[in-house]
Amino acid sequence: MSPVSATYLGIPGYVIFWVMFLVTMGLFLPRAYFLYRLMCLGKQENRFDRIGERFKNMLFVVIPQWCTLKSVTSKDLAGIGHALLFWGFSCFLVSYIVLIGISEGLGLHSYIRGGAFETGFLTVLDIAGIIVMLSMIWAAIRRYIVRPPRLEISLEAGFIMFMVFSLMVLHFCTESFGMAALGETHGLPPISSAIASYLVNAGVPKDTLMNVSYGAWWLHYAFILVFTIYIPRSKHLHVLASAPNVFFKSLDRKVVLEPIPLEALESEEPPELGVSKIQDLKWKDILDLYACAKCGRCHVSCPAQVSGKTLSPREFLRHMKDHLLEAGPGLLTKGSNGSGEATPELEGKRLVGDVVTEDEIWACTTCGACQEVCPVNIEHIRKLLEMRQNLVLVHNQMPESAQLMLRNMQTRGNPWAGAQSLRLRGDWTNDVEVKVLGESDENPSTLLWVGCTGALIDRNVLATLSLVRILNAAGVDFCVLGEAESCCGDPARRAGYEFQFQISAEENIETFKNFNIKEIITSCPHCYNALKNEYPLYGAEFKVIHYTELFAELIKQGKLKLTNDVNTLIAYHDPCYLSRYNGVYQEPREIIDRIPKAKFKEMERSKTTTFCCGGGGGHMWIEEQHGTTKINHVRMDEVIETGADTIATSCPYCLQMLEEGIEQKGVKETLKAKDLVEVVEAAMKQS
C-alpha cells in the first residue's frame, strides 16, 4: 500500500513517478551540464592537490555548518537559522532518497516501511520539519520585516522560502493523513501522529484521509522536482555549488596570485595578461560565482561599501554571474564549432567598463574582509586584482595617483619618493646603533627588513628606531640593509603592476641570498605578507617573522622584560595583512597583556574580522573616490567608541591612517595612536 502502487485514471503510479522524474532530469541535467561547460571556459588551475585535506575541510566546514556559524554575532544570528535549515533539510534530503526514491520509486517499501526504522526516521523528520518551518518563518520575518542591510528584498528568496515551507507542510499532510487512514496514532512520530489522532477523533472518513495523504505525497514529489529544476536556474545554485567551492578553496593563502609565466610572454601569441573578459577567469572563479548565495555578509563588511563607495563585493559577483549567463551560450557555441572565427559579440564584453566599473575595481583595499566572512570561501580579491593587472599591464589605465606611485617605485625603488619625502632610505640608521650590511664586519644572518614607510616617513621612522632599540636591548643579533633596502613590491602587486613586483621580488631575494640571510624580521605587515607568502614562489627560502611574533617569543624566554608601569586603556587595531591574512593576532594581545598596568579593550571588529584602516591595496597612494567617507574615519569612530586613550597597531600604514583620523576627528587630546613597539619600549626598563 503506497501512493506509487496505485493507478490513476488507469495509469500506473510507477509510470507517472518515473515520467515525472525523467522530465525533471531532462530539464535539470542539460542545465547542469551547461553550467559545467561555462565553468570550463575558465582557465586551468590545479585545485586537486591534497585531496584528503580538502575532503576533511569540506566535511568539517559544511556539515557542522561552521561556514555560517562562524559569522554569528549578537547582531546577526542568521547563521544559526541557516544551520538549522541545513541540518533539517539534510534529513529530508536523505528521506527523499530513502523514502521516495528507494522505497516508492523502486518499490522497495516493504523493506523500509512499517518497521522501527521507519518510525525512528519519521520521528527525526517530524522534528526536522518543525525546525525547518520555524527557520523559514524566521527568515521571512528577517528579510521582509527586519530587513538587515545585507539582505535584498527579492522575489526569488520569497519563492524559495515558500517552496521549502510548503514541502514541510506537505510532508506533515502525507504522514498524518496516511497514519490517520491506517489508524496508526501510537505516539511516534510525535507530531504526525498527534495530527493523525486529531483527524481520527474528528471522524474524517478513511477514504478522504487516504486520498489527501496520496494527494499531498504526489504534490510533495512534484514540488521536489520543481525545486530540482529551479535550483540551477537561481541564486540557490549555491545549494549545489557551495560544498564543491569549499572543497576547492585555496588552502594556504588568502589571495592566490600566481606568477605570470614569462616564457609564455615570448611565444607567438602571448596570453592576455590579467583578466579582461569573463573567460580569462580561472574555472574556480566561475565556480565562485555559482556558489554565491548573495547573503551579503561581504557587502556589509567591505570597507569600500561601508564608506559609501560604489564597490560591493556582492554586486561585483552578481554582475559577473549575470554577464556569464548572458554571454555564456555565445561563448560556448564559439568553442564547439571550432571555427575560431571570433566575432565581437561572441568574444564577450570586457569586464571592466562593461560589466563592472573602473571605480569599483580601484576602490578595493584588498583588506580581505569579504573573503573572511564569506561562508562559501569565495575569492573576490584575486579576480579584482587580476582585472587591475589587465588595466595596468595592458591598457595603461589607472588612477593618476596610482600611476604616480608606480612610477616612483620604478624609478626610485619606493612608493613614497618625490617631494613628499625629505629623507633618504638609510638616513634613519644614523640615529641609532645598528649594523648595516656591507658596512660592518659582521654580517648576522638575521635581517630586520624596515620597509619603505618605516625608513622614509618621519612618523614611522620613530617606530623603526624604537624597534631597533628594543631588539638591541633584548640581545637580538641582527642587521639592516640601510640604503640598499628597496621596496618589497607589494604596492605594485596590489595596484596590478605585477611585473614590477616580480622584479622587486627577484632582486630582493638575490640580495638576501648574497648576504646569506636566513631569517627576516619585518615590521610592516604588507612586507611580511609579501616576503613570507609570496616570495617563496620566486625562490625565497627564508624564515620570515613579524616583530609581534618575535616579541611574544622574547617575552616568554625572559629576554624582553616589561617592567615599567604604563597607565593606559589600550585598544589594538589589527592590521588586515597581519591578522586576517596571516593569523597573527594572539601575539600582540599577549604582549599587551604583559605590560604592567595597561588595561586592554577589545575592539568590536577585531582579530580576523578587523576593519581596514583604508591604507592597504595601494590605497596609501591611490585616492579614495570623491564624495565618500574616508575609510579611516569610519574606523576612527569605532576606535573612539572603545573609550581607549591609546590605539596601538603594528603596521606603518595603519599608524598613519589612525593618526590622520585622530586629527580629523579632533580627538588629539584624549587619544593617541601608537605603534605597538612604542608602547613596548615605554614599558621596558630604561637602562
Cell of 623: 585616492
Identity of residue 620: M
Closest CA to 68 of 135, 154, 166, 153: 135
| Nearest residue (CB) to other proteins, 202 versus 419 | 419
Q: Choose, by CB under 8 A, the member of 45, 152, 358, 483 that binds other proteins.
A: 483
Closest CA to 363 of 582, 630, 607: 630
Shortest distance, position 276 Cβ to other proteins, whole Å: 13
Q: Dihedral sign for Cα 453, 445, 498, 322, please.
A: negative
Q: Choose, by CB under 8 A, the member of 1, 15, 19, 424 that binds other proteins.
A: 424
CB count, 10 Å around CB of 668?
11
Chain center to CA of 544: 25
Shortest distance, position 391 Cβ to other proteins, whole Å: 11
Contacts of 8 (CB under 8 A, 6+ apart): 16
C-alpha span between 37 and 413 (Å, rounded):
45
Shortest distance, position 260 Cβ to other proteins, whole Å: 8
Cell of 111: 523493506
With CB under 8 A, what is the number of residues at the site for other proteins? Answer: 41
- 560 DSSP 8-state letter: S
* Residue 678 binds other proteins, judged by CB under 8 A: no
Class of residue 473 by CB neighbours under 10 A (exposed 0-12, middle 13-18, buried 19+)? middle
| Nearest residue (CB) to other proteins, 62 versus 417 | 417
Q: Which of residues 426-445 bind other proteins (CB under 8 A)?
A: 426
Q: Which of residues 400-419 bind other proteins (CB under 8 A)?
A: 400, 403-404, 406-407, 410-413, 417-419
Q: Choose, by CB under 8 A, the member of 502, 508, 523, 656 that binds other proteins.
A: 502
Q: Which of residues 247-276 bind other proteins (CB under 8 A)?
A: 260, 262, 265, 270, 273
Cell of 200: 481520527
| Nearest residue (CB) to other proteins, 497 versus 542 | 497
* Residue 482 binds other proteins, judged by CB under 8 A: yes
| Nearest residue (CB) to other proteins, 458 versus 602 | 458
Q: Which of residues 583-612 bind other proteins (CB under 8 A)?
A: none
Q: Helix (H, G, I), strand (E, B), or coil: what is residue 513?
A: helix
| Nearest residue (CB) to other proteins, 49 versus 669 | 669
Chain center to CA of 614: 18
| Nearest residue (CB) to other proteins, 412 versus 633 | 412
Class of residue 44 by CB neighbours under 10 A (exposed 0-12, middle 13-18, buried 19+)? exposed
* Residue 120 binds other proteins, judged by CB under 8 A: no
Q: Choose, by CB under 8 A, the member of 9, 46, 626, 669 that binds other proteins.
A: 626
* Residue 423 binds other proteins, judged by CB under 8 A: yes
* Residue 630 binds other proteins, judged by CB under 8 A: no
Closest CA to 63 of 306, 323, 242: 242
Q: Are strands 7-8 and 11-12 parallel, antiparallel or unpaired?
A: antiparallel
Q: Which of residues 145-204 bind other proteins (CB under 8 A)?
A: none
**What is the three-state SS of 574-602?**
CCHHHHCCCCCCHHHHHHHHCCCCEEEEC
Q: Count how many residues are written for the chain.
A: 687
Shortest distance, position 431 Cβ to other proteins, whole Å: 15
* Residue 488 binds other proteins, judged by CB under 8 A: no
| Nearest residue (CB) to other proteins, 49 versus 400 | 400
C-alpha span between 317 and 283 (Å, rounded):
14
Shortest distance, position 636 Cβ to other proteins, whole Å: 16
C-alpha span between 189 and 124 (Å, rounded):
8
Contacting range for other proteins; rule: CB under 8 A; set: 89-97, 376-384, 493-501, 538-546:
493-501
Q: Which of residues 304-333 bind other proteins (CB under 8 A)?
A: none
| Nearest residue (CB) to other proteins, 475 versus 627 | 627
Closest CA to 530 of 285, 248, 254: 254
| Nearest residue (CB) to other proteins, 201 versus 411 | 411
Q: Choose, by CB under 8 A, the member of 89, 217, 247, 497 that binds other proteins.
A: 497
* Residue 503 binds other proteins, judged by CB under 8 A: yes
| Nearest residue (CB) to other proteins, 458 versus 593 | 458
* Residue 421 binds other proteins, judged by CB under 8 A: yes
Q: Which of residues 370-399 bind other proteins (CB under 8 A)?
A: 389, 392-394, 396, 398
Shortest distance, position 459 Cβ to other proteins, whole Å: 11
Q: Dihedral sign for Cα 460, 461, 463, 467, please.
A: positive
C-alpha span between 479 and 440 (Å, rounded):
9
Contacts of 141 (CB under 8 A, 6+ apart): none
| Nearest residue (CB) to other proteins, 220 versus 309 | 309
Q: Which of residues 452-471 bind other proteins (CB under 8 A)?
A: 458
C-alpha span between 452 and 419 (Å, rounded):
15
| Nearest residue (CB) to other proteins, 156 versus 506 | 506
Shortest distance, position 535 Cβ to other proteins, whole Å: 18
Shortest distance, position 38 Cβ to other proteins, whole Å: 28
C-alpha span between 462 and 466 (Å, rounded):
6
* Cα separation of the two ends of the chain: 92
Q: Choose, by CB under 8 A, the member of 32, 98, 225, 484 that binds other proteins.
A: 484
- Report the interface residues with other proteins, using CB under 8 A: 260, 262, 265, 270, 273, 389, 392-394, 396, 398, 400, 403-404, 406-407, 410-413, 417-426, 458, 482-484, 497-500, 502-503, 626
